[in-house]
Amino acid sequence: LLEVRDEVLEMHQGGKIAIRSRYDISSISTLRRVYTPGVAEVSLKIRDNPALARRYTSIRHLVAIVTDGTAVLGLGDIGPLAAMPVMEGKASLLETLTGLSGMPILLDTKDPDAIVETVVHMAPTFAAIQLEDISAPRCFAIEERIQARVDIPVMHDDQHGTACVVTATLLNAAKATGSDLGRCRIGVIGLGAAGLALAKMLMFRFKNPVLGADIAADALERLKNAGGIPSDLKAIMAGCEVVIATTGVPGLIKKEMVRKGQIILALSNPNPEIEPEAALAAGAAFAADGKSVNNVLGFPGIFRGAVDANVPRITREMLTAAAEAIAAFAPPGEIVPNPLDKALHKSVARAVARVALEQGLNRDDLTGYFD
């Protein structure tokens, strides 16, 4: 373990990302083209037609990765500086898998108003905004308020990226077990950022109310307002064919609670609500934990498609299409695809862009994009 830790620390020395020039500026003539006086011509064109910024600058492939460090992985509120390695990791994945340039933005404030104002005012720099590791319930209003004021897509990955990937996993789990999700009772235990977004996506996709459990009354109220049914752990385990847990409480689900034939996704990291092996031994038809359900399956392609189509927002239909594209890409006998397969992310991007085209939300021409 010490050796692995040392390797990780070694890899992080100096950071994992960098901003570099696309051109070798080794001559005065090149200098004059990339900077003054030549750059003035480009600036004047953009002044006269702001849409040209997407053609003549890096804006069209820049994604802001914004965090206040209040809900980082399984580490909790560790602050923005300690969140930087995670944001760099997200940026590395965006670039490696889709060619988008992620720029970490660390916000030294927990005030929702300050976060919203800051992100809104820096939005012209970017083609999209990825919100990361912002705690619930603040994250819900922060995302909504920012999206209402900018004309580029805003997505809180902990909500919607997670919901996409879990939905994809569930689609394939149902296929493997012969379950009809349209007829299954689905319960979500833990209605934080991931749990509530997942419940909403499942209700949108399958048109049935989802049961939800949480220790917070306001979380249950949000579920009810979204069309779900407030419940509790005992009732969900006893009455639902599909159980998804996102509580952060290891060992919450006891083997005695498991019903024969259930699909159980215990997604909390690093330790799940019930180990998959224990759930299967207790009679579950399918069980998985958070180690196999990774957001990297979703967010790179979702943002690539949204940016390529130049949409003003990411819709529920786009997210559902992304989930189905992820599910369809899993190899035979597997529940999820290889997250490092660039063809997967291309497929997800095209699924998102196709829905944008169908909804009339694309502001860039997509001729030839799907070839």
Are the folds of 16-159 and 162-289 the same? yes
What strands lie across the sheet with 62-67, from one edge to the other? Answer: 101-106, 62-67, 128-131, 154-156
The reported pLDDT for the residue numbered 269 is: 87
Contacts of 44 (CB under 8 A, 6+ apart): none
Respond yes or no on whether the N-terminal peptide bond of residue 112 is cis (omega within 30° of 0): no
User: Which 3-state string (H, E, C) describes 231-263?
Assistant: CCHHHHHHHCCEEEECCCCCCCCCHHHCCCCCE
Residue 297 near residue 334 (C-beta atoms within 8 A): no
DSSP string, 170-231: HHHHHHHHT--TTTS-EEEE--SHHHHHHHHHHHHHH-SPPEEE-S-HHHHHHHHHTT-EE-
The kind and range of the H/E element at 321 are helix 316-328
Give the residue extent of every domain in the chain: 16-159, 162-289, 302-359
Read off the tokens for 89.
Answer: 């990791």
The reported pLDDT for the residue numbered 270 is: 86
Answer yes or no: 90 catalytic.
Answer: yes
Residue 199 near residue 212 (C-beta atoms within 8 A): yes
Q: How far apart are CA 66 and CA 199, in angstroms?
A: 24
Answer yes or no: 200 catalytic.
Answer: no
Catalytically annotated residue among 35, 224, 234, 254: 35
The reported pLDDT for the residue numbered 191 is: 98
Q: How far apart are CA 61 and CA 53, in angstroms?
A: 11
Task: Indicate the fold that domain 16-159 takes in CATH.
Answer: Rossmann fold (3.40.50)
Neighbours of 346 (CB within 10 A): 18
Reduce the DSSP state of residue 32 to 3 states and report it: helix
CA dihedral 215, 218, 223, 225 (to 10 degrees): 160
The reported pLDDT for the residue numbered 6 is: 87
DSSP string, 118-182: HHHHHGGG-SEEEE-S--TTHHHHHHHHHHHH-SS-EEEHHHHHHHHHHHHHHHHHHHHHT--TT
Read off the tokens for 299.
Answer: 């967010």
pLDDT along the chain (371 residues), means of 10: 76 94 95 96 98 97 98 93 98 98 98 99 99 97 99 98 98 96 98 97 97 98 98 98 96 97 95 97 97 93 99 99 98 94 98 99 97 90
Q: Is 360 left (phi over 0), alpha (psi -120 to 50) or beta?
A: left
Helix 299-309, helix 342-359: angle, nearest 10: 40
Reduce the DSSP state of residue 104 to 3 states and report it: strand
Q: How far apart are CA 105 and CA 125, in angstroms?
A: 12
Helix 138-149, helix 193-206: angle, nearest 10: 70
Contacts of 211 (CB under 8 A, 6+ apart): 185, 186, 187, 188, 228, 229, 230, 231, 235, 236, 239, 240
Q: How far apart are CA 47 and CA 300, in angstroms?
A: 31
CATH 3.40.50.720 fits domain 162-289: yes
The reported pLDDT for the residue numbered 2 is: 60
The reported pLDDT for the residue numbered 306 is: 99
Residue 265 near residue 173 (C-beta atoms within 8 A): yes
The reported pLDDT for the residue numbered 4 is: 63
Contacts of 272 (CB under 8 A, 6+ apart): 245, 250, 266, 289, 290
